[in-house]
């Protein structure tokens, strides 16, 4: 019931949004819709884990063994919550952004992408999951191509082709597994039962069919090349959706549809993937230091953070798995904060070049304070939410028995945290301190709507950082469940 509502509300309101024909109407409408979604998603948190409201399972394609089956466990709850929290924040924060042409279509497409994302996180049927996986992409494709920067068409198309190739390969993989299920079913249960049925030899090559799709979405080095371009060229609101929520689709896919289904393949390629993650983290951090464009800097920093999360999945430890689930939420919130600040600066000064900015702390003191908190969370300082997440991730990788290189991975990954401090603090210093110039002198401090959003984000950062227990409770059971499935001997 609740999962269906979480998908249906943005879907229906999004479709209605195409016919609003008024900008303010569309803004109010989309904010209203996203708030309703948020309320329902919060309601889901209050329910008991075995509540019937959290699951829906109706016949869809009986001949194909696929059902419209959606449900919420710890993992999908936390990610659907992230989706539900992000959208109202995005709408409020970008309230003053203007979009050319029929801008109500922008808000309608945003809501449709929310519906697609919700579907991805809530589906418990592999074919349904694939359906939403592709559907989430289409509205984003239109958003970026229509309202993006100068090179938007080519860049967005590169993004589209990358993910389309990945998802088609994933389709082949899912079909192969389905064709081997004894009961011819796409259900999660049947897929998880296959983990001991599929031979080790098959798991080893099947792994790549599925993982390519997820690795592109995350993205993992060397499949990341679409990401900085797309983030840079997309309209800010869409970049927020992409980086706060959409990259989590890749991580989610590995946790839900890859590791428990093909545990031997996951184990066999664990070191290879972890190696790629490590290289990507260091590489992205080094590139981030050199960036002059704020959006590209954050894009590369996101590659580094996601690499760490992926690393922890393959470590196959409880704290690592729990850390990934919590850190997915935290990273979404933190990066949202960063983007909102970038959006503010770009709207007021008309530039994103770090070299052209400076002294913003004098003209916008409140913004500076709030940004510093977000930035410290980005560096994972204690008392911030990312500290909890990354601490769990590191301890998970360090104690991993799935790999013999746990210590090496931890040390090199630790290096990337230091590098992240370098580029984040360097960015703050050059943008907010120093002397003002003609561009930054006329900047005014943040207004009410932005203040509300940033305060909410900072509040979430500190709340989770100080009192992470609800998050830990939420994810504990699911993490244990996934890990039990990743142990192929059982």
Partner 1 sequence: MNAIILSAVWGIIMMFSGIVTKSKTAIRNTAIIGLALLLIGNYADMMGYHLVTMEVHKMLYFDTFGLLGNSIAFASTLLLVLLSGRDMEKVGHNLAEYFALIFFVLCGISLVTTFNSLLMLFLGIEIISIPLYILTGSDKKNLKSNEAALKYFLMGSFSTGLMLLGIAFLYGASPMGSFAVDELWTAKPQVSPLMLSGILLLLISMSFKVSAAPFHFWTPDVYDGAPTVFTSFMATIVKVSIFVGFIRLFDEGFGQGAAQWQIFVAIITAATLFIGNITAVFQQSVKRMLAYSSIAQAGFMLLGLLSLTGIAKQGIILYAAAYSLATIGIFAILLRMKDYTFEGFNGLAKRQPLLAATCTIFLLSLAGIPLTGGFFAKYYMLMSVVSTGKFMWLAIFAVLCAAVSAYYYFRVIQAMYFKDGEGGTEVEPSAGFKGLLVLLAALILVLGVFPQTLLHQLTEMIYTW
Contacts 24+ apart (CB under 8 A), 462-468: 462/373, 462/383, 462/384, 462/385, 463/385, 464/326, 464/329, 464/330, 464/385, 464/388, 465/377, 465/382, 465/383, 465/384, 465/385, 465/386, 465/387, 465/388, 466/383, 468/326, 468/385, 468/388
Report if residue 372 touches partner 1, rule: CB under 8 A: no
- What is the distance between the alpha carbons of residues 362 and 435, in angstroms, rounded to a whole number? 9
CA dist 391 → 296, 465, 471 (Å)? 26, 11, 14
Token couple for 403: 């790999």
Among 42, 153, 418, 466, binds partner 1 (CB under 8 A): 153
User: Looking at beta carbons only, is 187 or 385 nearer to partner 1?
Assistant: 187
Residue numbers 290-349 binding partner 1 by CB under 8 A: none
Report if residue 169 touches partner 1, rule: CB under 8 A: yes
Q: Is-contact 124 70, C-beta < 8 A?
A: yes
Span near partner 1 by CB under 8 A; candidates 45-53, 164-172, 446-454, 458-466: 164-172
- Element spanning 138, H or E: helix 137-147
- What is the distance between the alpha carbons of residues 92 and 84, in angstroms, rounded to a whole number? 13
Span near partner 1 by CB under 8 A; candidates 47-55, 145-153, 344-352, 410-418: 145-153
Query: Mask: binding to partner 1, 422-451, rule CB under 8 A, as x and -?
Result: ------------------------------
Residue numbers 208-227 binding partner 1 by CB under 8 A: 209
Among 1, 4, 35, 168, binds partner 1 (CB under 8 A): 168
Among 27, 55, 152, 248, binds partner 1 (CB under 8 A): 152
Among 36, 165, 193, 415, binds partner 1 (CB under 8 A): 165
Q: Is-contact 130 170, C-beta < 8 A?
A: yes
Report if residue 61 touches partner 1, rule: CB under 8 A: yes
3-state SS class at 71:
strand
- What is the distance between the alpha carbons of residues 382 and 384, in angstroms, rounded to a whole number? 5
Span near partner 1 by CB under 8 A; candidates 144-152, 239-247, 279-287, 337-345: 144-152
DSSP state of 384: S
Report if residue 391 touches partner 1, rule: CB under 8 A: no
CA 391 to chain centre: 19
DSSP state of 220: P
CA-CA-CA-CA torsion for 82, 88, 91, 92, nearest 10 degrees? -120
Query: Mask: binding to partner 1, 111-140, rule CB under 8 A, as x and -?
Result: -------------------xx--xx--x--
What φ, ψ does residue 187 adopt, rounded to 5°?
-65, 155
User: Looking at beta carbons only, is 61 or 418 nearer to partner 1?
Assistant: 61
Among 95, 142, 405, 488, binds partner 1 (CB under 8 A): 142
The nearest distance, CB 361 to partner 1, in angstroms, is 39
Report if residue 157 touches partner 1, rule: CB under 8 A: yes
Report if residue 247 touches partner 1, rule: CB under 8 A: no
The nearest distance, CB 101 to partner 1, in angstroms, is 8
Residue numbers 62-101 binding partner 1 by CB under 8 A: 62-63
Report if residue 146 touches partner 1, rule: CB under 8 A: yes
Beta bridge partners of 125: 187
CA neighbor of 77 nearest in space, from 52, 53, 114, 42: 42
- What is the distance between the alpha carbons of residues 101 and 313, in angstroms, rounded to a whole number? 43
User: Looking at beta carbons only, is 119 or 320 nearer to partner 1?
Assistant: 119
The nearest distance, CB 343 to partner 1, in angstroms, is 22
- What is the distance between the alpha carbons of residues 292 and 178, in angstroms, rounded to a whole number? 48
Report if residue 488 touches partner 1, rule: CB under 8 A: no
Q: How many residues bind partner 1 (CB under 8 A)?
A: 27
Residue numbers 172-211 binding partner 1 by CB under 8 A: 172, 175-176, 178-179, 209
- What is the distance between the alpha carbons of residues 4 and 54, in angstroms, rounded to a whole number? 9
Residues 6+ positions from 179 with CB-CB distance below 8 Å: none
Among 13, 41, 114, 145, binds partner 1 (CB under 8 A): 145
User: Looking at beta carbons only, is 134 or 480 nearer to partner 1?
Assistant: 134
Which residues of the shown chain bind partner 1 in the complex (CB under 8 A)? 61-63, 130-131, 134-135, 138, 142, 145-146, 152-153, 157, 160-161, 164-165, 168-169, 171-172, 175-176, 178-179, 209
């Amino acid at each position: 019931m609740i999962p269906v509502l979480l998908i249906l509300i943005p879907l229906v309101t999004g479709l209605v949004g195409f016919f609003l024909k008024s900008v303010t109407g569309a803004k109010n409408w989309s904010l209203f819709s996203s708030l309703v979604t948020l309320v329902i998603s919060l309601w889901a948190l209050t329910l008991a884990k075995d509540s019937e409201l959290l699951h829906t399972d109706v016949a869809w394609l009986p001949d194909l063994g696929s059902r419209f089956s959606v449900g919420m466990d710890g993992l999908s709850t936390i990610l659907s919550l992230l989706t539900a929290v992000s959208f109202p924040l995005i709408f409020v924060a970008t309230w003053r952004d203007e979009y050319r042409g029929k801008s109500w279509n922008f808000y309608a497409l945003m809501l449709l992408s929310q519906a697609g994302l919700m579907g991805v996180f809530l589906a418990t049927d592999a074919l349904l999951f694939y359906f939403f996986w592709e559907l989430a992409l289409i509205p984003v494709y239109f958003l970026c191509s229509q309202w993006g920067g100068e090179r938007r068409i080519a860049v967005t198309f590169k993004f589209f082709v990358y993910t389309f190739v990945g998802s088609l390969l994933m389709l082949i993989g899912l079909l192969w597994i389905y064709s081997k299920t004894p009961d011819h079913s796409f259900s999660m249960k049947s897929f998880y039962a296959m983990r001991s049925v599929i031979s080790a030899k098959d798991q080893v090559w099947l792994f790549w069919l599925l993982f390519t799709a997820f690795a592109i979405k995350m993205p993992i080095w060397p499949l990341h090349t679409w990401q900085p371009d797309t983030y840079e060229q997309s309209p800010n609101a869409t970049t927020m959706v992409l980086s706060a929520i959409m990259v989590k689709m890749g991580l989610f896919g590995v946790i839900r549809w890859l590791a428990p289904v093909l545990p031997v393949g996951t184990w066999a390629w664990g070191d290879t993937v972890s190696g790629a993650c490590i290289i990507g983290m260091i590489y992205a951090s080094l590139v981030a230091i050199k960036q002059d464009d704020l959006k590209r800097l954050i894009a590369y920093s996101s590659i580094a953070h996601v690499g760490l999360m992926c690393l922890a999945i393959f470590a196959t430890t409880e704290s690592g798995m729990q850390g990934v689930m919590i850190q997915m939420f935290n990273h979404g919130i933190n990066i949202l904060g960063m983007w909102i600040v970038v959006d503010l600066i770009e709207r007021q000064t008309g530039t994103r070049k770090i070299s052209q900015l400076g002294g913003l702390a004098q003209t916008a003191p409140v913004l500076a304070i709030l940004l510093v908190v977000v930035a410290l969370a980005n560096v994972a300082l204690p008392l911030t939410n990312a500290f909890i997440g990354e601490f769990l991730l590191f301890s998970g990788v360090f104690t991993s028995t799935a790999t013999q290189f746990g210590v090496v991975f931890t040390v090199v990954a630790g290096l990337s945290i230091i590098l992240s401090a370098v580029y984040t603090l360097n960015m703050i210093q050059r943008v907010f301190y120093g002397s003002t110039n003609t561009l930054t002198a006329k900047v005014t401090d943040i207004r009410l709507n932005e203040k509300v959003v940033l305060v909410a984000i900072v509040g979430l950062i500190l709340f989770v950082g100080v009192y992470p227990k609800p998050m830990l409770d939420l994810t504990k059971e699911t993490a244990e469940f996934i890990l039990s499935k990743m142990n192929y001997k059982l």
